[in-house]
Structure 1
Amino acid sequence: MDNKRLTIVIPALNEEEAIGGTIARCLDAREEISHQAGLDGVEIIVVSDGSTDRTVEIAQSYEDVQVVVFEENQGYGAAIKEGWRLGQGDLVGFLDADGTCDPRFFAQLCRTALDENADVTLGSRLGSDSQMPLIRRAGNRIFAFLLGLLCGRKVTDTASGMRVVRRQSLKHLYPLPDGLHFTPAMSARALMNHLRIIEIPMKYEERIGESKLSALWDGFRFLKVIGEGVLCYRPEKIFLAGFTFCVLLILLLAAYPAEFYFQHGRLEEWMIYRFVVCQLVGSFGMMLLLASALTNRMAQLSSRREESVGFWSSIVVSLFSGKSLLFITGLFTLLGIGFLWPGIVEYVTTGTITLHWSRLIAGAFALFTVMQTLIFFVLMKVVAIWYFEQSVLKKNILEAMSNESSELRNVNYQKITPTVETSRHIMK
C-alpha cells in the first residue's frame, strides 16, 4: 500500500453533548494511531446528518477537521458513505459520535487490517467490560446467530459502530443502505462475499445523550437486511434451512405412527390427520429443496457471486442435475404407481376402491413430487439458456472492446507516423 492513510468518519445527528469530546479524542489519538499502525496520516471528517442543535457549530470550531452538513436527515449509512467518498485514505473507518468508543482503538484495527490483510476489521462490543444495555446485547447475539446460521460464517457483533475497511474492498460491499441498518448489511455482505473480516474485542462505554436506535423497528430492519443479503448472494441457504425444519417436523409427527405400525402391523384411523399434515409439510419441504438448487443456479448469473458453495448446497446442486434428477423423478414415479396400482386395478375390475388411506396419501405425495421435479427441470432449462446467452453476450462485449482498443492503437500510430516522416523531410 503506497499511501497508508486512514479516513475517520464521524456521523452525527443532534449530538451536541458528545460531539466535541469525540472530536477532541480523535484529534489527540491521531499520532498514536499513525505510530502504532505505521500510517502516514489520519484525517477526520464529521458529517452532520440534518442536525438541528449545536452539533455543526461545535464541530466547525475544531481545526484539522472537515465538516460536511446535510441540511436534511439522510441516514446514518448515507453520512458514512459521503465521508468515505470525500476522504483520501486507503483505509476508511467510522466512529459513532456518542462517546461510546475510544478512538485510540483505531490503531489496533488498522494494524490488524494491514498485518493480516483483512478487508474489514471491527470492534466487538460484547466483551466482559462492555456497558451495552441488556436488550441490545441480546438483540446483537440473535442477529449474529441468524447470520452465522445462514452464512456458515459468523461475527459476534453484527452492528458494531467502529470499523476499518480497505477502500479497495468497498466494491465488494456496495451498495449499502442509508439507514441505521448500514452496519448489519455490511456484515452480511462481507460474509457472503467471503471477505476477510476480523473482530477485536473493545471497551464500550455508556452513550452520552439520547439514543437514536429503536429496538423494535431497527431490529426488524436489521433482520430484513440480513435476509436480503442472504437472498442476494446465498439464497439457497434460506431454502435449505426451511427444508431442514420441514424434515424435523415430519420426523416428529411420524415417529409415533411408525412405532405403532411396527409393533401392531396396522395404523389407527385417527392417524390420518398426521399423515395429511406430513404430506403437506413434505410437499412444501420438497419445493424448498428444489428452490434451493434453482436459486443457487440463478445466483450464479450475478457477476458478484463467488463460485464457491457450501457442503450441503453443493450436494443439493449435484442431486438435482443431470442423471441424478432423472433417477429421482423415475424413483418417485415408480413409488407413486406402486402405492396406487392396487386401487387402480380394483376400481377398473370392480368399480369400487377399498385401498387404505395411507397408501393413497403416500402415492399422492410421490406423484406430486414428480410434478414438482418436472416443473423444476423446465425452469432449470430456462435459467441455463439465460446463463448461456449472458456468457455469449459478455464474451462478445469483451471481444468488441478488445477490437476497439486495437483500432484506436492503430489510428494513433497512423497519426504519429506521418508526423515523423514530415519531420524527416523538413530536416532534409
Structure 2
Amino acid sequence: MCNDFSSILTVVIPTLDEEQSIALVIDDLKQQGFNNILVVDGNSRDRTREIAGGLGARVVLQEGKGKADAIRTAIPYIETPYLLVMDGDYTYPAKHIKELLDKAVKENLDEVIGARIRGRENIPLMNRLGNWVITKTFNILFGTNLSDVCSGMYLLRTQRTREINFESKGFSVEVEIAAHIASTTRRIGEVPIEYRKRIGKPKLRKRHGALIMLDAYKLALRYNPVFLVFMTASLILIPSLALTAYVAYDLLVNNVKHHVWAIIAVTGTGIGIQSTLMAIMTLYLKRLEYRLVQRLEEVKR
C-alpha cells in the first residue's frame, strides 16, 4: 500500500474530451498514493467528467478556455503546499511525481519540471524541434539551463503559483510559469522522466509552437525589455553584412564603386555590432541581478 500524499500535494489535471484516457490516468495516480486529484474540465463533450467523478476525483468546470485558464480555475480549490499539473492523456507516468516532490522539498524549489528525456520518439518530430527552439530561446533570455520548458508535467509551490498573473493563453502557460519563477526566486529545477504515447486525439497543433514563441517573446519583453530592444536592433547586422559583401565584391571584381551603399552598409554594420554588444551586456547584468537576488534569499534563510 502506497503512502497517501493528500495533505502535501494536489494533482491538477486539465481535461478536454479525454474519456479514452482519464480513467487510466487516475488509476495510475492512485496506485502511487496520490488521491488528492482535481480535474478541471474545459466543457468536454464526451464522458470525461462522469468517468473522473466516478473514480473519486474532484471535478470542476473550467472558467474560460485553454490550459492557462484551467490552472487559474484550479488555484482557489488548492489547500496543499504543493500542486502538480499533468495532462490527462496518459503520456506522463505518475511514478515520477515522487521524484519531483522529493527534489522540490530537499532543494527548496518553487518549480520542478518533468523533463521528457526518455520516450521522446512519442513526441512528433515538429513538436520536438519546436520544443528545442523554445527551450534554447528561454534559456538565453532567462539565464536558465533547462532541457524541456514545455513539459506538461511540473510541480509547483502553491504560494508562488498564486503570484502569477496568467496573462498567456493555452499551451504557453508552461513558459509563463517558468518565466515567473526564473525571474523572481530562481528556485527552478527539473527531473528526467519518461514520456508515453498519447491516448486520444492530440490537441497541440503546429500553430501553437509559433504562439508559444510569441508569448515567450512577450514574457521576455516584460522581464528583460532592454535586452530585447538591443537584440532586435542587432538584427540589422545581417542585411548590413550582406550589403557590405556585395559592395566589396563589385569593387574588387568589377571595379564598380557604390559610395551611398557603402556608407549605408558601414553604418548598419556599426549599429548592429554595437547593439549586439549591448544585448550581451544587458544579459550579463540581468544574470548578475539574478545571482544577487539568490544570495539575498540565502542570507534571509
TM-score range, shorter chain: 0.7 to 0.9
Question: Which residue among 8, 12, 24 is the counterpart of 1:9?
Answer: 12
Q: Deviations over 1:132-191 (max 9, x none)?
A: 111111110011111222223232212110010112222554334342211122223332
- Aligned with 2:193 (options 202, 216, 224): 202
Q: Is the CA contact 1:45–1:66 (under 8 Å) kept in the aligned structure 2?
A: yes
1:213: which partner in 2?
204
| Pairing of 1:145-224 with structure 2 (within 5 A) | 145-216=136-207, 218-224=208-214
Whether 2:261 is the aligned partner of 1:273: answer yes
TM-score, normalized by length of structure 2?
0.80
Q: Which has the larger radius of gyration?
A: 1
1:77 and 2:68 equivalent? yes
Change (3 A) 1:178 1:283: closer
Shift in Å, 1:221:
1.3
Contact residue 6 and residue 89 of structure 1 kept, 8 A: yes
Residue of structure 1 equivalent to 2:297: none
Residue equivalent to 1:353: none
Which 4+ stretches in 1 moved above 6 angstroms? Answer: 255-261, 289-292
Provide the C-alpha distance between the structure 2 equivalents of 1:168 and 1:209, rounded to a whole number of angstroms: 33
Aligned equivalents of 1:271, 1:128: Cα separation in 2: 58
Match of 1:25?
Answer: 28
- Shift of the 260–313 alpha-carbon distance from structure 1 to 2, 3 Å rule, reads farther
How far apart are residue 241 of structure 1 and its match? Answer: 2.2
Residues 183 and 129 from structure 1, CA distance in 2 versus in 1: closer, same or farther, beyond 3 angstroms?
A: closer
Residue 389 of structure 1 corresponds to which residue in structure 2? none
The alpha-carbon distance between structure 1 residues 278 and 171, as it changes in their structure 2 partners (threshold 3 A), is: farther
Deviation at 1:258?
8.0
Aligned residues: 281
Indicate the RMSD between aligned Cα atoms, in angstroms: 3.4
For 2:250 and 2:42, how far apart are their aligned partners in 1?
66
Q: Does structure 2 retain, via aligned residues, the 8 Å contact 1:113–1:120?
A: yes
Match of 1:335 in 2: none
Counterparts of 1:67 and 1:104, CA distance in 2? 23
Which segment is superposed worse, 4-13 or 274-283? Answer: 274-283
Alignment gaps of 5+ in structure 1 = 32-41, 297-308, 316-428
Tell me the amino acid that sits aligned with residue 15 of structure 1: E
SS at structure 2 position matched to 1:20: helix
Q: 2:284 aligns with which of 311, 319, 334?
A: 311
Counterpart secondary structure, 1:125: strand
Contact 2:68 2:173 in 1 (8 A): yes
Contact 2:247 2:261 in 1 (8 A): no
**Correspondence 1:233 to 2:223:** yes
Residues 113 and 155, structure 2, Cα contact 8 Å, conserved in 1: yes
Change (3 A) 1:250 1:182: same
SS of the equivalent of 2:46 reads coil
Q: Which amino acid aligns with 2:71?
A: I
* Closer/same/farther in 2, CA of residues 141 and 289 from structure 1, 3 Å limit: closer
- The change in CA–CA distance for 1:7 and 1:314 in structure 2 (over 3 A counts) is closer
Contact 1:246 1:285 in 2 (8 A): no
Higher helix share: 1
Alignment-mate amino acid for residue 177 of structure 2: M
Aligned letter for 1:66?
R
**Residues 1:244 and 1:280: Cα distance change in structure 2 (over 3 Å):** closer
The yes-or-no answer on 1:98 pairing with 2:101 is: no
The 3-state SS of whatever aligns with 2:108 is coil
Tell me the amino acid that sits aligned with residue 58 of structure 2: Q
1:395-406 alignment to 2 at 5 Å?
A: none
User: Are the counterparts in 1 of residues 224 and 286 from structure 2 also a CA contact under 8 Å?
Assistant: no
* 1:253-264 equivalences in 2 (<5 Å): 253-254=243-244
Assess if the C-alpha contact under 8 Å between 1:19 and 1:55 holds in 2: yes
Q: Distance in 1 between matches of 2:7 and 2:232?
A: 46
Aligned to 2:41: 48
Kindly provide the CA deviation profile for residues 231-269 of structure 1, in whole angstroms up to 9, marking residues without a partner as x.
Answer: 0010122123234444566456547878999x9xxx952
Q: CA–CA distance in 1 between the matches of 2:78 and 2:266?
A: 58
User: What's 1:121 paired with?
Assistant: 112
Paired amino acid for 1:148: N
